[in-house]
Amino acid sequence: MGRICGINLSHNGSLAILEDGEVQFYVEEERLSRVKRDRSAYTAATQFLDDSIDVVTISDCFTKYNLEKYLLRTKQANKIIDLVKERGLPLKDYRDRHHECHAANAYYNSGFDNAAVIVMDGKGSLHPHKDWKFCETESIYDVSNGKFESVFKHYSTFWSEEESKKLGSSFWDGRNFYSNRTSVGQAYRRVSRYCGFDETHAGKTMGLSTYGAAPEDLFEIHNGHSVCSTELSAEGNTTRYTGIEYHPEDLAYRLQKSAEKHALFMLEKAYELTGRENVVLTGGFFLNCIANYQLLKSGINLYVDPLAYDGGLAIGSALLEHYENTLSRS
């Protein structure tokens, strides 16, 4: 397929244009609107959507199941879909494939033919079963010559504490794991707030951790998988810390060291499930350079996605559209 425009409507709104699978242009909305982490992508779309585009792909986070109903939730998103329609461009919905868009952006730029891809973030797409109030927080894909196979997903619930209790603490459904524990990404949001930072400033929490000391582990093995302890519990779309009081630097240290162990657990799981010695890391957690350095010591060939946060979804959805069409014709 020729020219594809990928638009990300999650935080870090972004737009990318690909031609024959190669990125020609990428911009984040905040660079144009001057609004930090602007998720609208409208300014970019008005400037760069033209009749040279063959198809537009849209990606997002924590989605609903009907594209138009979900996009009506915000004026910016509604303006985007109206603009696409006004310009007579085909629209493809990739919002229910959040982690796969992360994985595609990372894998197709890694240089590996065959690899395991690990995605870890705060939250991704909702479980496809409309009555299950879970969304993906960790995924492992086995990729061979561009073909993706999901071999593991951890779905967490982000609803009320009462809802969480109804679901039980955790269970397995084939290769997928479900829990009422918060994700590592949400854990950083909560601890960042505890430390006095904005919840999106996980990098500051990572930096602060180098000044702390606290040996306790905020993760535990539960039902065969590494999960956040109950000290970090889910309530609605936020996470609250319910443990004893710590100096901010000590709690930051505690989370950082726990998250590093958890990331190593995921790396070992990826090798166990795929046997791949090439591993691609993506999702917002893997902006954590200290954890990435610890994983590098494992000796496995690693590629860390430089656009591991949601800005990269614009490229990822466009790459999925390009390569799935290419593979279907081969």
The pLDDT, as a whole number, for residue 67 is: 53
| Cα–Cα–Cα angle for 263, 230, 290, rounded to 5 degrees | 25
- How many Å apart are CA 143 and CA 100, to the nearest integer? 11
For 10, the 3-state DSSP assignment is coil
Q: DSSP letter at 182? A: P
Q: What is the pLDDT of residue 237?
A: 36
Q: What percent of the chain has pLDDT over 70?
A: 85
Alpha helices in 75-216 (DSSP H): 75-86, 98-107, 161-167, 184-194, 202-208
Quick check: 233 pLDDT over 50?
Answer: yes
Q: How confident is the model at residue 30 (pLDDT cuts 50, 70, 90)?
A: very high
Considering only CA atoms, which of 54, 108, 95 is closest in space to residue 327?
108
Q: Is pLDDT of 111 > 70?
A: yes
Task: Give the residue, 233 or 108, on which the prediction is more confident.
Answer: 108
The structure tokens listed for 126 are: 């909702």
Q: Considering all CA atoms of the chain, what is the largest pairwise distance in Å, rounded to the nearest integer?
A: 59
Find the range with the poorest average confidence among 126-130, 143-147, 244-248: 126-130
For the record, the structure tokens of 105 come out as 């952006």
pLDDT at 280 over 70: yes
pLDDT for the residue 1 = 66
User: What is the predicted pLDDT for the residue at 95?
Assistant: 85
Phi, psi of 72 (to 5 degrees): -70, -10
- Whole-angstrom CA distances from 279 to 149, 300, 309 are 14, 7, 18
Distances (CA, A) of 292 to 132, 240, 253, 301: 33, 26, 16, 12
Q: Are 198 and 276 a contacting pair, CB within 8 Å? A: no
pLDDT at position 130: 56
User: Which pLDDT tens digit goes with each residue over 135-151?
Assistant: 899 999 999 999 999 99
Comparing 2-16, 195-209, 220-234, 263-277, the range with the smallest average pLDDT is: 220-234
HSE-CB of 294 using CA atoms within 13 angstroms: 16
Ranked by mean pLDDT, the top range of 2-6, 226-230, 231-235 is: 2-6
pLDDT at residue number 182: 85
What count of Cα atoms within 13 Å lies in the side-chain half-sphere of residue 52?
9
Mean pLDDT of all residues belonging to the chain: 87
Per residue in 65-97, pLDDT (tens digit) is 445 555 555 666 778 888 999 999 999 989 889
Q: How confident is the model at residue 180 (pLDDT cuts 50, 70, 90)?
A: confident
The domains located in the chain, with CATH, are: 3-96+310-329 (3.30.420.40), 111-304 (3.30.420.40)
Q: Which residues pair with 303 in a beta bridge?
A: 280
Range 165-168 contact pairs with CB under 8 angstroms and sequence separation of 24 or more: 167/133
Residue type, 297: K
